[in-house]
Every structure is written in structure tokens, then in C-alpha cells.
Amino acid sequence: MRLLPAVATASLTVAVAYYLYIPLPDAIREPWKLIMMDAGFRTMMHLASLKAWLGFDHYITSIRQSMDGFDGMVGESGGGVMPGVKVSDITFAGVPVRVYEPPAGGEGHLRRGLMFIHGGGWALGTTKKGSYDAINRMLSDELNTVVVSVEYRLFPEVHFPVPYLDCLAAAKHFLSPEVQARYAIDPERVAVAGDSAGGNLAAAVAQEISTDETMSVKFSVQALIYPVLQALDFNTPSYLQNQNVPVLYRLLMVHFWLQYLGADLSLQSQWLANNHSSLHHTSITPELRARLDWTALLPPKHKQNYRPVIVKKGSQGTGKEVPGLLDVRASPLLAGPEVLVKCPRAYILTCEYDVLRDDGLMYARRLQDAGVSVTNDHYEDGFHGCFSLITWPMEFDVGKRALRGYLTWLQNNL
């Protein structure tokens, strides 16, 4: 009988270890910290799904509540608080924004301006708490920059194109001569930036603004942090290489895309197999496919021994079921060269161990081919989400380096 407690303890220990442990690439530093963080995130999602199954809140609502508690703990740690930065929560063209104003300079001195769009799979996140707030305060203070972070509407309340339209409306308001003058911003030094899904929105907004001849002030630079840029190929080398690397799994990214585009989640297996972009779909022309042909756009070191997954005859009617699938406002990588040539110079941060790595690398190459100046900061030990992991209790060395690289580039180019 004495063996029973020991056996139970051993079994529980093995079960917990099995749940926690995920094999990670050797190049990722501080692996156990990432493993523990990922276990917490997975637990949060599992509990949220259970509550939804039991008929309580929508699972996204439950995840937001859990994340609010964590962000509150990060905020209380004091990371990123800059006493001289004035913070205001207002609206731009009806869209909620948070404005960070640096300490006032000498009379007549114009300042930089930057619009930031947060990530979170178009469903999660806020820039009012946690590391996003800390980063924007730091940027405003160090670079003498008026930062505007956009609180665009999220899933499940809305789908595409609403988040994009929110960001575009806020951007046009921010770039208006009246607002530029009110905040003493130099109209020649205005940026748009974002990470992950926010990078998607930033890239799409930058494309629209750059081709809008009615805009007298346009973005001079765009800074995209591991942006998600296309939904036609979920079998790029980075999607396959990093499909099980935390915190953004391949399956989760497809899930986010289906939610954003208002598609049925039952299409997940079809999208994972690239059936939704098969040769059967004549609306996806050879010219369009070339815009995300990683065999031509990626450097050899990232192509490795992977082979393109092109399905000859896949699911039918997907284009009709998901009308936003080929919309460049959702997938900026699909934009034509006549659009890219007008885009502002770019900073694109990519991470080796991120399913979105190849999206960023392909976009950098296409912008360069169009004649746009591009800086690609690639972190060989980076993983998705590391840029915002710079405050206690989840601070990573690679996150601090990525943030410093972003700030340095803006300092020299904006």
C-alpha cells in the first residue's frame, strides 16, 4: 500500500513533465523560460476552450481576461515607465488611440511621429498595458517621438476588413496637416510600425497611403516586426520547420487567419494542406502565385531541402467562401510591383524560429526588387513574440536585442 502514493507522485510528475516539455532548437537561448511561458499560454487556451464548451464566455473573452491579469502584473513591475512622457487616451476619426508625447523641446523644434499597431492574431492584445505600453513609452522618450498606438476592433466582435479600416482611418487622421501641426510633428519623419498581425495591418496601411494621391503627408518609413503577410501557402520552409515552435504554432496561425477572414474553422485541414490555393482555383493566376513563390524569393539557406506544396486539384469554392483570401488589404505580399514601388523604405525584423519568417523575407525581397530600400534584421536565435518579451517576469535577451535594433534603426532612419 505504501507504494501507491509513490506511484501516484511519480505518475503525476511524468504527466506534468510531458505537458511542459517541448523540444526546442539548440540555438534558442533560455529554453526553459520559453517552455514555461508556452505551457502557461497553452493552459490559458485550454481553460478558455473548456469554459466556452460549458457555455460560459467566448474563449477569446476568457483569454483576454487572463492576459489582462498578466499584463497588469507586468505593468506593476515598473518596466518602461517614463515620467516625462505624457499619455492620453483619445480617438482619431472615431478610433480609440493612445498618444505618447515626449517632453516638450525648444520652440520651433519638430518631432518624429510614429503610429504603432499591436499584434495578437487580430483577436488579442492591447497597447495600453504590459510590454507594448513600455516599448512605446521608451520610444517616445528616447527618440523624441509622438507615438500613436491604435486600439482597433478585434475578433470575435468584427472580422476583416474592419481592423484594417480602423487602422487606415486612424492613420489618415494622424497624417492630416492639422494633427501634424497640433503635435509639432515633422511631416517628413512619420513612421508606421507593427508586430505580427499588427505588422500585417501596418504593411497594408502603408501600401494604401503610399498610393493615395489625396494624401499630402505620407509615411516616410515602415517598420514591420515578424509580419504575417499571406494566407495562400502554409507550407513554406519556415511554416514546416517551425510548426511546433512556441509560441505561434502553424495550426494556431491558420486558426487566426480563418477567424480574421470570417471563414469556417472546418476549413483548417484544407488550408494546412494548401488545398485552398490549388491549381484548380483559376482566380489565383500564375502572376499572383509568383508574388509568394518562395523558391524564387528566399535565399538558399532558408530554402534548404524543402519542396513547394502545390496541389493540382483541391477544395472547390474556397475563393467564394472566403472572399478576403486574395484581398491585398489582408495579404500585403500579394500586392503588385506598381504598388510596392511607391512604398516607404522598410525595416523588417525576422526570426529564424518563427513560422512567419519566410513571409517577412519574401516581402523584403519583393520590396527590394521594386527599388525600395530595405533593412532586414534577422535573429538567428529569435522566435515569434520575442520582441515584446522585454519586461519581468518574461524577459529574454533576444527580445532586448531585437527592441534595441528596432530603436536604433528608427533613430538613424526616421
At 238-280, the pLDDT tens digits run 999 999 999 999 999 999 999 999 999 999 999 999 999 999 8
User: Residue 122 falls within a domain, yes or no?
Assistant: yes
Total tally of structural domains belonging to the chain: 1
Q: How far apart are CA 324 and CA 184, in angstroms?
A: 38
Q: Which domain holds residue 292?
A: 85-104+115-414
**pLDDT tens digit string along 353-395?**
999 999 999 999 999 999 999 999 999 999 999 999 998 778 9
Joined grid coordinates for residue 143: 527618440
What is the maximum span of the chain, computed from C-alpha positions, in angstroms?
A: 83
Average confidence score pLDDT of the chain:
90
Residue 226 has pLDDT above 80, yes or no: yes
User: Residue 299 falls within a domain, yes or no?
Assistant: yes
User: Residue 179 falls within a domain, yes or no?
Assistant: yes
Whole-model pTM: value is 0.93
Catalytic residue list: 196, 354, 384
CATH number (domain holding residue 352): 3.40.50.1820
**pLDDT tens digit string along 115-157?**
999 999 999 999 998 999 999 999 999 999 999 999 999 999 9
Cβ neighbours of 317 (radius 10 Å): 9
Joined grid coordinates for residue 33: 523560460
Question: Tell me, what's the pLDDT at 412?
Answer: 98
User: Residue 399 falls within a domain, yes or no?
Assistant: yes
Question: Tell me, what's the pLDDT at 8?
Answer: 43
Cis ω for the linkage preceding 25 (within 30 of 0): no
Q: How many helices (H) and strands (E) does the chain have?
A: 17, 10
User: What are the two backbone dihedrals, phi and then psi, of residue 160, each rounded to the nearest 5 degrees?
Assistant: -60, 140
Report the share of the chain in percent with pLDDT over 90. Answer: 76
pLDDT (mean) for 35-40: 90
User: Residue 24 falls within a domain, yes or no?
Assistant: no
Identify the DSSP state of 387: G
User: Residue 17 falls within a domain, yes or no?
Assistant: no
DSSP 262-306: T--GGGHHHHHTTGGG-TT-TTS-HHHHHTT-HHHHS-HHHHTT-
pLDDT (mean) for 75-90: 72
User: Residue 306 falls within a domain, yes or no?
Assistant: yes
Question: Tell me, what's the pLDDT at 71?
Answer: 55
User: Residue 57 falls within a domain, yes or no?
Assistant: no
**pLDDT tens digit string along 291-325?**
999 999 999 999 999 999 999 876 655 555 788 99
Question: Worst-scoring range by mean pLDDT, 16-20, 67-71, 118-122?
Answer: 16-20
Q: Which of 43, 44, 71, 60 is nearest to 394 (CA)?
A: 71
